[in-house]
């Protein structure tokens, strides 16, 4: 048998006399210490680390549950709602399984007396928060099943959010305490290695006088591996978990080395998993923040869309009511002009007959009445009145057409529409606001209609043009230009207003952000406009400097 594979006690029996007694005592101590260390390592790898993994998995599933509940709340069709509900139930089952795994490991740790009171307190709080959150989740799902979405959202973003935050805080504390406990255990292993080394070195110094040969042999067979273990433990304590011991013996030191190698491998895997989970948690956190921002934008857009839909219905009704009398006037003014022309022709012929036959004396009374009524002035005035009626009917028809174009705010589904006509209709709605103050300079390129939501685009144009008008103090100009390159439609709206700073420009599309005084603006217009352009797979950019006006550039894909 190889001497290296002998038990430490057997190696000591090779000594003589006092060396045998001293080294036997030393090795009994060393064996016990190594067994304690191995037990500590086994406890870390079989209980502490699995417990930490269970808590980490629980935390990840909890964040997934929260995100899927939000997605469930905003699911549109029944299939998506059922799918999200199934995911939520599965995640709750996963969390329950994580808790059950942790509870089993907790019971084992309590039997071994290694379960901390602080962790026990945190676990008790965790169970309480989880039970509360499950109750609120069941209330949330019940409200959704009864189609009470607003009440469900109130529960989810109210008390449930508060309980979830407390639940997350307790989870984070449990993850932290498990991580610290694991590394403290590794530190205790290091201290045990150092104690073992000190004891063995002390005994070697005492026994070296007795037998240099045995001391040298023991140093080679015992001290060197222990030094390797101590060095490796110090390396682990400094955070380097890639260290591996090359001790291949079958004695206690060899077993300890293998356990040490297993521990460093487990710690390395644990660190990698924790880093991965931290990255996943960060990603989930960012996704959750994005979902909340989208929720705010969607809520504000829904409110504004309802208002604009009501405006669309009102303008559509007005346009319909005006259309009939205007059509009546337009269709009858030309026959009236022809009839009056015929009547004037008869009167002119009458004048010619009177003049040719010298009948002025006979019709003196009629001529007197004509002079009294200013007959020539009446004829001229009738012509002007008819022209005015015709021009008024034409302008009113144009207004009705603009109202009809603008009233398409509540239409569902995309359809082919003219961008230029939408801009014209929007300018018509802002005519009184711009009149006698702002000059609108248009440069419209002719191009085919594109597939879009015409009412929503009119709303976006209205928001930008209204802001441009309000940004102009006194007189000013607004330049509107459209262009088309075969694939992209570009709309540029530029004003000569006061412009904006970089700080304002960076936040201009945020919901509820406004530079206006309190009560003069909601801060929703440009945020909704940005969302409308995004819904069209387009892009909205703003260029501005203080005192140099602002330019909004909209690019839209020319879908057909």
Q: Higher model confidence: residue 391 or residue 75?
A: 75
**What is the per-residue pLDDT for 112?**
74
Percent of the chain with pLDDT strictly greater than 90: 10
Q: What are phi and psi of 34, to 5 degrees?
A: -65, -35
**Residues 396/404, Cβ–Cβ less than 8 Å:** no
pLDDT tens for 110-132 read 777 777 777 778 877 878 878 88
Enter the DSSP assignment of 14.
T
| Predicted confidence (pLDDT) at residue 490 exceeds the cutoff of 80 | yes
Query: Which of 143-147, 504-508, 543-547 tops mean pLDDT?
Result: 543-547
CB 281 within 8 A of CB 57: no
Please tell me the CATH code under which domain 411-560 is placed.
3.30.565.10
Q: Report the pLDDT averaged over residues 238-249.
A: 71
Confidence of residue 179 (pLDDT cuts 50, 70, 90): confident
Query: Which residues are CB-neighbours of 434 under 8 A, at least 6 positions away?
Result: 427, 440, 469, 478
- What is the pLDDT confidence band of residue 477, given thresholds at 50, 70 and 90? very high
> Which is nearest to 40 in space by CA: 175, 180, 225, 184?
184
Contacts of 500 (CB under 8 A, 6+ apart): 508, 515, 544, 546, 550
Neighbouring CB atoms inside 10 A of 459's CB total 27
Residue ranges covered by each domain of the chain: 3-304, 411-560
- What's the average model confidence in pLDDT over 439-456? 91
Q: How far is CA 403 from the centre of its chain?
A: 36
| CB 540 within 8 Å of CB 467 | no
Q: What is the pLDDT of residues 304-324, one digit of tens each?
A: 555 555 555 555 566 556 666
Q: Is 123 left (phi over 0), alpha (psi -120 to 50) or beta?
A: alpha
- Cβ atoms of 15 and 216 within 8 Å: the answer is no
pTM passes above 0.85 = no
SS3 452: strand
């Amino acid at each position: 048998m190889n001497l290296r594979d002998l038990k430490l006690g057997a190696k000591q029996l090779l000594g003589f006399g006092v060396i045998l007694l001293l080294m036997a005592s030393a090795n009994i101590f060393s064996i016990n210490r190594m067994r304690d260390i191995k037990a500590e390592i086994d406890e870390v790898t079989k209980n502490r680390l699995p417990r930490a993994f269970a808590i980490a998995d629980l935390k990840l599933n909890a964040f997934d549950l929260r995100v899927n509940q939000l997605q469930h709340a905003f699911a549109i069709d029944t299939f998506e709602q059922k799918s999200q509900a199934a995911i939520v139930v599965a995640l709750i089952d996963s969390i329950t399984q994580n808790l059950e795994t942790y509870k089993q490991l907790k019971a084992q740790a309590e039997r071994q007396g290694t379960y901390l009171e602080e962790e026990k307190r945190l676990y008790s709080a965790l169970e309480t928060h989880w039970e509360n959150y499950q109750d609120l989740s069941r209330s949330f799902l019940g409200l959704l099943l009864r189609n009470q979405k607003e009440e469900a959202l109130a529960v989810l973003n109210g008390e449930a959010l508060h309980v979830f935050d407390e639940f997350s805080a307790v989870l984070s504390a449990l993850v932290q305490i498990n991580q610290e406990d694991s590394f403290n255990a590794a530190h205790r292993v290091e201290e045990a290695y150092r104690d073992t080394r000190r004891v063995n070195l002390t005994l070697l110094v005492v026994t070296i006088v007795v037998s240099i040969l045995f001391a040298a042999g023991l140093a080679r067979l015992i001290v060197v591996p222990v030094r390797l273990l101590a060095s490796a433990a110090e390396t682990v304590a400094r955070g380097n978990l890639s260290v591996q011991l090359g001790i291949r013996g079958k004695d206690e030191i060899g077993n300890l080395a293998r356990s040490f190698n297993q521990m460093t491998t487990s710690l390395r895997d644990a660190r990698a998993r924790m880093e991965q989970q931290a990255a996943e948690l960060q990603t989930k956190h960012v996704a959750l923040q994005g979902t909340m921002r989208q929720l705010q934008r969607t809520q504000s857009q829904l409110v504004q869309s309802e208002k604009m839909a009501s405006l669309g219905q009102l303008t559509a009704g007005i346009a319909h009511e005006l259309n009939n009398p205007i059509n009546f006037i337009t269709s009858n003014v030309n026959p009236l002009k022809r009839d009056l022309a015929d009547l004037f022709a008869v009167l002119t012929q009458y004048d010619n007959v009177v003049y040719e036959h010298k009948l002025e004396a006979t019709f003196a009374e009629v001529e007197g009445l004509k002079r009294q009524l200013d007959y020539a002035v009446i004829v001229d005035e009738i012509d002007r009145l008819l022209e005015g009626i015709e021009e008024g009917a034409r302008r009113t028809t144009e207004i009705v057409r603009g109202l009809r174009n603008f009233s398409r705010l509540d239409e569902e589904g995309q359809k082919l529409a003219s961008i230029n006509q939408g801009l014209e209709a929007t300018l018509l709605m802002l005519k009184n606001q711009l009149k006698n103050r702002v000059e609108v300079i248009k440069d419209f390129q002719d191009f085919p209609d594109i597939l879009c939501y015409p009412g929503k685009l009119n709303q976006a144009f209205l928001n930008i043009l209204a802001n441009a008008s309000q940004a102009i103090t006194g007189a000013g100009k607004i330049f509107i230009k459209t262009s088309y390159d075969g694939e992209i439609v570009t709309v540029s709206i530029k004003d000569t207003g006061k412009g904006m700073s970089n700080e304002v420009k960076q936040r201009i599309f945020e919901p509820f952000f406004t530079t206006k005084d309190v009560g003069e603006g909601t801060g929703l217009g440009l945020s909704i406009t940005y969302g409308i352009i995004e819904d069209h797979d387009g892009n909205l950019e703003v260029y501005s400097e203080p005192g140099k006006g602002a330019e909004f550039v909209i690019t839209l894909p020319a879908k057909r």
